Amino acid sequence: MAKLALYVALEARADKEEEAAEFLRSLLSLAQEEPGTTTWYAVRFDHNTFAIFDAFPDEDARNAHLAGQVAVTLIQQAPDLFVDPPEIQRLEILAYKPHQAP
């Protein structure tokens, strides 16, 4: 069960919106390699506003993710693509509905 999460709001630089979207899509393959990352989303709210939301069963898994390739790659690419450095918010999940195959 996912108990902890991270949320990262991101605002793309002018004329970098599509590059930012493609970059976020590319992070999926890195997130899929992390066994402790149970849920990972990259979302777009509007033309230049994005976010990442991911969930973890425990603090060890969350810390492993923060030390892993997704976080490292995001921090490395952020100055070129986003207005501000990523601000990573740590969340506690109070309730959720797990995915069920149809």
Residue with tokens 């605002």: 11
Contact 52, 10 (CB under 8 A): yes
Q: Report CA-CA distances (Å) from 57 to 38, 93, 100.
A: 7, 10, 18
What is the residue extent of each domain of the chain?
Answer: 4-91
Q: Which CATH code of 3.30.70.100, 1.20.1630.10, 3.40.50.2300, 2.10.70.10 fits the domain covering 4-91? A: 3.30.70.100
pTM, entire model: 0.93
pLDDT, one tens digit for every residue, the chain (102 residues): 899 999 999 999 999 999 999 999 999 999 999 999 999 999 999 999 999 999 999 999 999 999 999 999 999 999 999 999 999 999 999 998 887 887
